Copies of this chain bind each other. A is one copy, B any other.
Amino acid sequence: MKLSTKGRYGLRAVLDMALYENEGPITLNSIAERQGISEGYLEQLMVPLKRAGLVKSVRGAQGGYILAKEPKNITVGEVIRALEGPIAPVACVSEDYPEECERAEGCVTRMVWEKVRDSIAEVLDSFTLEDLVQESRKYTSQNSYMYYI
């Protein structure tokens, strides 16, 4: 029941982008440095984030990545789903295409997993990047450039 680094790193990356939003395109290199994540790995995470319409890339020198929507319109749930796939504690109750199961009819554990799925989704969908940015600024003194994530 653990998130992989895809989801964790990916959320930190987009949150980093939200924090430095006014500085133009953010390079993977700078995110990687601030967050202590391998740049090559971050690169792989950007593919699904772009596909999900959460970030946009700017190629060439002075390029980088920017958020495709305002932080207040990006939920943690969207980011996690983009990177980890639909929320599904077990495959047969996946949010989008639940896997068929012979035992499905009358399966009683399924209702447990459905509730787990919904409660996870509810929490993840209740936070926007903006919420986290604001929370982060609380911890950050006026002059500090250190943001915690």
Whether A47 sits at the interface, judged by CB under 8 Å, is no
In the assembled complex, which residues on chain B have CB atoms less than 8 Å from the CB atom of A112? 76, 123-124, 127, 132
> Would A136 and B148 count as touching, CB distance under 8 A?
no
Whether A59 sits at the interface, judged by CB under 8 Å, is no
Whether A67 sits at the interface, judged by CB under 8 Å, is no
> Would A89 and B148 count as touching, CB distance under 8 A?
no
Number of copies: 2
> Would B123 and A122 count as touching, CB distance under 8 A?
no
Determine which of B15, B119, B148 lies in contact with A122 in the assembled complex, contact meaning CB atoms within 8 Å: B119
Give the Cβ gap from A86 to chain B, nearest Cβ, in Å: 10
> Would A89 and B3 count as touching, CB distance under 8 A?
yes
Interface residue range, chain A: 35 or more
> Would A148 and B90 count as touching, CB distance under 8 A?
no
Give the Cβ gap from A125 to chain B, nearest Cβ, in Å: 11
Contact with B along A68-92 (1 / 0, CB 8 A): 0000000010001000100111110
Determine which of B2, B3, B7, B107 lies in contact with A148 in the assembled complex, contact meaning CB atoms within 8 Å: B107
In the assembled complex, which residues on chain B have CB atoms less than 8 Å from the CB atom of A132? 108-109, 112
Give the Cβ gap from A140 to chain B, nearest Cβ, in Å: 8
Residue of B nearest to A91 (CB): B2
Give the Cβ gap from A136 to chain B, nearest Cβ, in Å: 5
In the assembled complex, which residues on chain B have CB atoms less than 8 Å from the CB atom of A60? none
> Would B1 and A108 count as touching, CB distance under 8 A?
no
Whether A105 sits at the interface, judged by CB under 8 Å, is yes
